[in-house]
């Protein structure tokens, strides 16, 4: 018997397909709401059904247009709070601004923390998210955060290929732990890309491959593909180092600047495996791109949060 | 002798021209900063000069694109706070979302309050603004708010025309106090537009003129022109009621949906007098449109806040 | 099945009759408590029954003596919080200090916001109130506010009179929206009173009637009658403008300075229709004064809040 | 050189005489302000001079009418905060509600803590007070509290009498520490009154004297005289135990219920020595009552707080 | 039917025996958790069972090593909060730092308040404790505090001895109220020890007995025995004043510096009666020491808090 | 001219030598304070000089005993706040609990965030620290954090050795960025150690070297040496892979479990270069251990913070 009254799932305008898929998993209809902009570019929100004391889950990845989607989400949370929702869980399949998580230069923001505070200020009481760029972002919140991971999903898919002589390649140091996790699951060794500035001129960079990759099938791992720039450099570097075939695995497919096109143009790159934490626009629909859905993952987590069941047990 | 160390004024990307004009008034250079978006649509900010213990004023009207400009502003404030600014004043010549200031329907947000909380959460310690849609928005903040008014500026300009037999017309009840203020300054009577829904069908509305307007020169007053829709209805209704000539006075010129074109197309409407609290795009530059600058007003207020002088004294 | 444990309603010393009437509506006994002052003028409170985890509603309009009633209410809330109440709803049928809601002069307080913060600081988790002077006061809170309106009650009563040729008159701009609401419900046109200072001497004011009132029956609308001063000026002005009969409708009857006597002395004024959001002292009991009770309104709202039902549905 | 800009002292309506005496000590004029009630019993405040960045001290003992004086003070603080005061110190010579400082019965408030929170919520940044009923009330605040004591003032006055064979008597356990302090300063032994309930009937109490008092001159010590009830019982009990003469020393003279008259009627009681932390009404002006002023104490403390000098050094 | 989901009790490393005894009283198993230190002296905590939405009680007296036990407790609370516990009650049978509850010297902390804030910051939502050194410490919290008392337990035990001609002796003024409570329950008079500094040299102190003790059996009362230093001085002073026999009653037995040995060495001292709010180390197990258990008291309180029943009713 | 009044530096009991060295750099005496424990294991603090409005820096690395040093620091901060310090900067040369910065298992704390909140709750207004284990810990604070780095200090020292054919080795992924920084400064390639669990039994781990190390001189980099366990495994693994000589560079030398002895026992390991962010106990004073002082770094930063100068400029 769940501790909270009826479960309700609502979607912002960022990714209604995912919210609907989650509701399908849960066997409930998507909650009714109006979310739109007035002529003066002001966002407006109205819930079209009573949510008093309901256990409300609001779904919004921070996809393009990022600031719009964040502001809209904050406004939805405010409306839910003032409408006497019993509990408000912010479901954020993709958390943007995650790379702005420390001051590594003077006088810059820590936007990932700022966003956490904005969500709490608006009225979010819990967060449910997937594969944060850095786990420490959990600590930017003082409300409970359930971070799910799509790694088992990706690993299972890649594992089924039974690749011969594979090596898992982390695109940078930040991706190393994630890459090791996948490497351990498919029983492969690890290599890591190192980007280094050369000389006094800030602009020139070299890209080193640390570890053995020659004559191997590389499974390149990152948490997020944005412009694909560093991924393409990685692909090129690996090609030069005698890699025979390449696969890319990544949870969040931002894919700005025609990333999909540029990536899939490379011959040795056989497949780009992503998930639907972000909307799967037409630009991402390419024969070499495989999309795995996180809807069952998120649906199951919502079911467990609502019912007071363990989330940890999902990953044992 | 000012209580705070050196004064610094920085601009977001919404309206650098206004920030520069303010700095010209103050006789100081505009502060150096980088404010831009990465390819992944994430906003980034870096102050290019030391601001430790400085008295920092950040200038950003919440103009189009509204959510982008608000988020950028919050990120600037966060960066300034973490860079040890001595005091951070949010200078917001135009405060968007001001009409979403109460729950007049079930399950809607109070976004004007939300924005106030977001600003404080980010680190703003004071607010300087111009002609809020509702004065109560001051009370949405718990930090000091200095609200300036452009009404004397507009009244002085209209007064110099020495119109014969004028009537000041408020476009709705919300504009009535402001209209009375202008009416008193130019010695004119007042009329008020009343919008009323007719019958059960929600859509149909009538527009009544309360008060005498026949054969008079109407000076129509509003705080903000958005699509200009209700203004155009007002103009039409006044035309039908025998008004001879019309002027429009308003502080904030949002001018979405080709408002300027549609407004100025009316023959009897002689002039639209606005200020530059919002960027004056080409769409607003029309022979019938007159722009008065609030830069001296804001500059003087910043000078006084920095030096511990009275703002109230500016309006006596 | 209600989400919260047993419902309990307690009253402060301001208006026990209303609290009892609410309990009668709900079919429950009024909660037992001691609320009194020690000889040293310090207020004391003790709940006489266990309220752990109970859904506690505390009823107190901010009537005369205002500061005493507010402080007593804050102390009650503190006691309820420390006694482990499950949820505390502040039921404030009349919210005082509502006119001090903005800084329209230098160096004044925004007391309506201050009171909101004091209530939250003491431990209130929700507010239930009636006809706020300005809707924006909802936004002074960051906890859910349910604002009810007595307008349908008043409109229904006036509507049953089937007045011939009526006009609804707003006593000032602030009352205009409320007046329009009543006008629409009884199918009458609107007029608005305009107060304006004349000349340099601050004291002299003129009172203009904007709109047609001659030979009509005026239904004067305000949210609150205090000394009745401006109402009496309105009555006089309307008399001069040829009104034939007058009715007054208002939610909150403060009635200081013998307001009732002075008002009812006017011959053309036939009836003053008020509600019991404030205690109905003997000074208000006059043959021309009709009191409508808000107890069913508040009782129904409490029933719905307790049970997680929609409040909005009450007004559809 | 003081760290804060100009010093300003303002008074609420509770005790302007004390505020003036403090200003005389400091050699500055009392700050200009309007503090009054509207006809509707709502308190209003306006500072009549610029206080931006000023070091503002607001003086208000929580005297009768207690709730009015507290609310007025909160409103003054809010106005000062919104008027951009540089720093706000709440000067509270007498802190009411200090006996409601713990839950010694079920379901009662801890009002002394509540008031501390209300002051901080309104905007107070420091507190300056005199002889709190319990020192722990300092810990109810999270802002700096400077608690002064009038004990040396009272001890010096009593010491100059060079009483023969004196005994200092604490009126209850709570007064024991204070009494010991005075006893040590005048070199006298200590006795303590013990109140105890007898039998099952809650009402009957006996009053025991613990310690030797026969044939001695008693100096009775309390922090506050309210109705004087327990003081009169003490006096009677001491008379029965053979005390030859009595003096009463106390910082805060609330004196409700004709306390002064009743106290001074006792023959053996020679003198009641109080201070002016509370207004000295006519009812307190009796030949047997001596009033010592705390104005120099408070004035010196304000001087030191403003200038960054040690307060502790005042009591060494 | 309890309002919260399943009850769970966990223990820190300070006093697992007490937590187990509480669980025995409640008839539930002790919750599974790991609490330990890494080699680098960093404390770590993991709950070994799902606690989502559970009603979690964490038991930890602030015994030696005090700072370690407090930090460990804060970390446990943080872990419980982030693990989505439904409600977190901090069960603190002994609250350390309670004597640092006011600034009685310049520039000292108020650590008892600080600890209260740290607990709330970590995520505690309620506190359950026993015999606070000062009741005002309740007011250092803004969350509900249930303070139980072991006095009836101690009084019942002493009462059964039916001592002839007893006198209850408070070791200092702070213990006087507690002593009176016990005196009233066993029908004995009261005496109070007074410590006073003599001369200018700060070090010398005299210890006076206020009240009659000769030829009586003394029952010495304190809330806490630390080094036992002042207790031993009391014992010596009472011996000199002709007391015939002595008993010591106290809730919290800190017993540092071989307090038990030193105390029990005194011949006239017959028995030291303590409780197990603190761990009963071997040093406390002496034939003259009697330990009464507070486990049933705490167990019953937890049962009532969980079920929404009155705690006050336990002491009627 | 500095914006804050006089600078004062105080030390807790963790590392007074460092605080003194900082004061020597600044040319000021160390502030006077008492910091000690009572017999009951309660920490106490008193500042022995006036600190009103002073710019107070409190120095305390979170060294062994960790919880004691943290609690002592919190108590110092509380005392400074209540003593009216003008500004409080927490100088934390070593931040413990930094590895507990995310939930990588179910139901564990994020202690690094908790500590940040505790510091802010106590009253810290700024933080100055050195080489945080993860930069994101900056974002656990909402007050300004200045993170210094000892990397240039270490790199300069190692660089002067002009090692032939060096390789920089990161002990794990977390150390990779830091290692790359040092590698870039001394012009060396990079290798990274990878720890991986093997099989189902949780205990067995293998340690892989990713990158080329044979016949090279390894400079092993970590931010912190604790038991030295993983460092020793690294040393062994590198020995097996044909490294010729080894150096260790690390900022924070925790050195628990005889780490120094065990480390220096390895023949190929020539030198362990550490700093004095933590106290340099005798166990660390070994011929192979070189200690570089961070006092000038911290002293210069304090000078700049106090005077409003750029910290960033120190690292350009």
CB contact under 8 A, F52 and D145: no
Q: Does residue E83 belong to the interface with chain A, where contact is any CB pair within 8 Å?
A: yes
Among B3, B146, B311, the residue with its CB nearest the CB of D53 is B3
Q: What is the pLDDT of residue A1?
A: 46
Interface test with C, best of E5, E126, E147, E308 (most C CBs within 10 A): E308
Active-site option among B195, B216, B284, B288: B195
Strand partners of residue B85: B52
Q: What is the pLDDT of residue E1?
A: 46
Neighbours of chain B (3+ CB pairs under 8 A): A, C, D, F
Q: What is the pLDDT of residue C1?
A: 46
Q: What is the pLDDT of residues E245-267, one digit of tens each?
A: 999 999 999 988 788 788 888 88
pLDDT higher than 60, residue F3: no
Report in angstroms the alpha-carbon separations of C295 from A246, C16, C27, C30, C315.
Answer: 73, 12, 12, 13, 16
Active-site option among E195, E216, E258, E288: E195
Q: What's the mean pLDDT when you consider all of chain B?
A: 93
ipTM confidence: 0.95
Q: Does residue D53 belong to the interface with chain B, where contact is any CB pair within 8 Å?
A: yes
Q: What residue of D is the nearest CA neighbor of E311?
A: D106
Among B126, B304, B308, the residue with its CB nearest the CB of D5 is B308
Nearest to C61 by CA among C100, C18, C111: C18
In C149-233 the beta strands, taken as DSSP E runs, fall at 166-170, 190-197, 205-210, 217-225
Structure token digits, residue E289: 């020491």
CB contact under 8 A, A113 and F142: yes
User: Most distant CA pair in chain B: distance in Å?
Assistant: 65
> Are E8 and E51 within 8 A, CB to CB?
yes
pLDDT in tens, chain A (316 residues): 455 679 999 999 999 999 999 999 999 999 999 999 999 999 999 999 999 999 999 999 999 999 999 999 999 999 999 999 999 999 999 999 999 999 999 999 999 999 999 999 999 999 999 999 999 999 999 999 999 999 999 999 999 999 999 999 999 988 999 999 999 999 999 999 988 876 555 556 778 898 999 999 999 999 899 888 888 889 999 999 999 999 999 999 998 878 878 888 888 999 999 999 999 988 788 889 999 999 999 999 999 999 999 999 998 7
Residues whose CB falls within 8 Å of the CB of residue D156, separated by 6 or more in sequence, listed in order? none
**Which sign, positive or negative, has the C-alpha torsion A181, A186, A188, A191?**
negative
Chains F/B: 3 or more C-beta pairs closer than 8 A?
yes
Q: What is the pLDDT of residues C133-179, one digit of tens each?
A: 999 999 999 999 999 999 999 999 999 999 999 999 999 988 999 99
Q: Which residues in chain B touch residue D50, judged by CB atoms under 8 angstroms apart?
A: 308-310, 312-313
Q: Does residue C261 belong to the interface with chain B, where contact is any CB pair within 8 Å?
A: no
Chains D/E: 3 or more C-beta pairs closer than 8 A?
yes
Q: Give the A:E interface size as CB pairs under 8 Å.
A: 28
Among E5, E50, E82, the residue with its CB nearest the CB of A144 is E82
> Are A86 and A53 within 8 A, CB to CB?
yes
Examine the residue annotation and report whether F195 is marked as an active-site residue of this protein.
Answer: yes
What percentage of chain D reaches a pLDDT higher than 90? 80
Report in angstroms the alpha-carbon separations of D248 from B59, C111, D187.
Answer: 63, 42, 17
* Nearest chain F CA: its distance from B18 CA (Å): 28
pLDDT band at D128 (very low <50, low <70, confident <90, very high): very high
Rounded to the nearest 10°, the torsion over CA D274, D280, D283, D287 is: 50
Q: Does residue D108 belong to the interface with chain C, where contact is any CB pair within 8 Å?
A: yes
* Nearest chain F CA: its distance from B41 CA (Å): 21
pLDDT higher than 70, residue E200: no
Give the CATH number of domain C7-149+295-315: 3.40.50.2020
Chains B/D: 3 or more C-beta pairs closer than 8 A?
yes
pLDDT higher than 60, residue F252: yes
Q: How far is CA C71 from the centre of its chain?
A: 19
pLDDT band at D229 (very low <50, low <70, confident <90, very high): confident
For residues A199 and B281, what is the distance between their CA atoms, to the nearest angstrom? 45
* Nearest chain D CA: its distance from B106 CA (Å): 30
Average pLDDT over residues D144-155: 97
Report in angstroms the alpha-carbon separations of A208 from A205, C24, C154.
Answer: 10, 80, 80
* Nearest chain A CA: its distance from B280 CA (Å): 15
Residues whose CB falls within 8 Å of the CB of residue D309, separated by 6 or more in sequence, listed in order? D303, F50, F52
Q: Which residues in chain B touch residue C184, judged by CB atoms under 8 angstroms apart?
A: 196-197
pLDDT higher than 50, residue D54: yes
pLDDT band at D257 (very low <50, low <70, confident <90, very high): confident
> Are A85 and A25 within 8 A, CB to CB?
no
Q: What is the pLDDT of residue A138?
A: 98
pLDDT higher than 50, residue B1: no
E98 CB-side CA count, 13 A: 25
For residues E185 and E175, what is the distance between their CA atoms, to the nearest angstrom? 16
Q: Does residue B104 belong to the interface with chain A, where contact is any CB pair within 8 Å?
A: no
Helix (H) or strand (E) holding A306: helix A295-307
* b/e burial code for range D49-87 (CB count within 10 A of at least 16 → b): ebbbbbbbbbbbbbbbebbbbbbbbbbbbbbbbbbbbbb
Residue matched to tokens 């910051």: E121
Domain boundaries, chain A: 7-149+295-315, 151-292
Q: What residue of D is the nearest CA neighbor of C103?
A: D82
Active-site option among D20, D81, D161, D195: D195
Q: Does residue F100 belong to the interface with chain E, where contact is any CB pair within 8 Å?
A: yes
> Are C177 and B173 within 8 A, CB to CB?
yes
Q: Does residue D194 belong to the interface with chain E, where contact is any CB pair within 8 Å?
A: yes
Model confidence, pTM: 0.96
Alpha helices, H only, chain C: 16-26, 66-82, 111-122, 151-159, 176-186, 229-240, 259-264, 295-307
Report in angstroms the alpha-carbon separations of D211 from C130, E137, E234.
Answer: 61, 30, 16
Q: Does residue F134 belong to the interface with chain A, where contact is any CB pair within 8 Å?
A: yes
Among D101, D142, D190, the residue with its CB nearest the CB of E194 is D190
pLDDT higher than 70, residue D202: no
CATH architecture of E151-292: 3-Layer(aba) Sandwich (3.40)
CB contact under 8 A, E140 and D135: no
Q: Does residue A83 belong to the interface with chain C, where contact is any CB pair within 8 Å?
A: yes
pLDDT higher than 70, residue F28: yes
Q: Does residue A32 belong to the interface with chain C, where contact is any CB pair within 8 Å?
A: no
Q: What is the pLDDT of residue C201?
A: 53
Residue matched to tokens 């205690």: C279
pLDDT higher than 70, residue F4: no
Q: What is the pLDDT of residues F131-168, one digit of tens each?
A: 999 999 999 999 999 999 999 999 999 999 999 999 99
Active-site option among F20, F81, F161, F195: F195
Q: What is the pLDDT of residue B201?
A: 53
Average pLDDT over residues D44-50: 97
CB contact under 8 A, F39 and E117: no
Average pLDDT over residues F118-122: 98
pLDDT band at C2 (very low <50, low <70, confident <90, very high): low
pLDDT band at F118 (very low <50, low <70, confident <90, very high): very high
Neighbours of chain E (3+ CB pairs under 8 A): A, C, D, F
Q: Which residues in chain C touch residue D72, judged by CB atoms under 8 angstroms apart?
A: 67
Average pLDDT over residues C285-302: 95
What percentage of chain E reaches a pLDDT higher than 90? 80
pLDDT higher than 80, residue D205: no
CB contact under 8 A, E144 and C86: no
Neighbours of chain A (3+ CB pairs under 8 A): B, C, E, F
CB contact under 8 A, A5 and C308: yes
Active-site option among A195, A216, A284, A288: A195
Q: What is the pLDDT of residue C276?
A: 97
Provide DSSP, A32-51.
PEEEEE-TTS-EEEEESS--
Of B77-91, C64-78, D67-81, F178-192, the one with minimum mean pLDDT is F178-192
Average pLDDT over residues B187-214: 80
Q: Does residue F210 belong to the interface with chain D, where contact is any CB pair within 8 Å?
A: no
Average pLDDT over residues B38-47: 95
pLDDT higher than 70, residue B3: no
CB contact under 8 A, B309 and D52: yes
Chains B/C: 3 or more C-beta pairs closer than 8 A?
yes
Of B190-199, D307-316, E53-62, E105-114, the one with minimum mean pLDDT is B190-199
CB contact under 8 A, C42 and D100: yes
pLDDT band at D196 (very low <50, low <70, confident <90, very high): confident
Q: Please indicate whether the domains covering D7-149+295-315 and D151-292 agree at the CATH topology level.
A: yes
Average pLDDT over residues C87-101: 97
Cis peptide before F198, with omega less than 30 degrees from 0?
Answer: no
Chains F/C: 3 or more C-beta pairs closer than 8 A?
no
Of B52-61, B201-210, E123-132, the one with minimum mean pLDDT is B201-210
């Amino acid at each position: 018997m769940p501790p909270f009254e009826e479960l309700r799932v609502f979607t912002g305008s960022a990714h209604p397909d995912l919210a609907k898929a989650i509701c399908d998993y849960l066997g409930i209809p998507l909650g009714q709401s109006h979310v739109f902009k007035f002529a003066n570019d002001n966002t407006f929100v109205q819930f079209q059904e009573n949510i008093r004391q309901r256990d409300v889950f609001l779904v919004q990845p921070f996809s393009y247009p990022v600031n719009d989607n964040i502001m809209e989400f904050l406004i939805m949370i405010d409306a839910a709070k003032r409408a006497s929702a019993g509990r408000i869980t912010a479901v954020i399949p993709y958390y943007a601004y995650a790379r702005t998580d420390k001051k590594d230069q003077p006088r810059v923001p820590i936007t990932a923390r700022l966003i956490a505070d904005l969500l709490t200020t608006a009225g979010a009481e819990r967060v449910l998210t997937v594969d944060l760029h850095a786990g420490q972002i959990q600590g930017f919140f003082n409300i409970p955060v359930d971070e799910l991971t799509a790694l088992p999903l990706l690993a299972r898919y890649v594992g089924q290929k039974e690749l011969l002589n594979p090596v898992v390649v982390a695109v940078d140091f930040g991706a190393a732990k994630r890459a090791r996790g996948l490497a351990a699951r498919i029983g492969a060794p690890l290599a890591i890309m190192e980007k280094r500035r050369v000389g006094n001129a800030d602009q020139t960079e070299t890209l080193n491959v640390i570890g053995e990759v020659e004559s191997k099938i590389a499974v390149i791992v990152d948490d997020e593909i944005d412009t694909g720039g560093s991924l393409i450099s990685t692909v090129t570097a690996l090609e030069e180092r005698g890699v025979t075939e390449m696969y890319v695995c990544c949870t969040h497919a931002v894919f700005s600047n025609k990333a999909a096109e540029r990536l899939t143009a490379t011959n040795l790159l056989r497949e780009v495996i992503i998930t639907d934490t972000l909307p799967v626009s037409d630009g991402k629909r390419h024969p070499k791109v495989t999309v795995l859905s996180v809807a069952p993952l998120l649906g199951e987590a919502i079911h467990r949060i609502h019912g007071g069941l363990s989330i940890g047990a999902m990953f044992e």
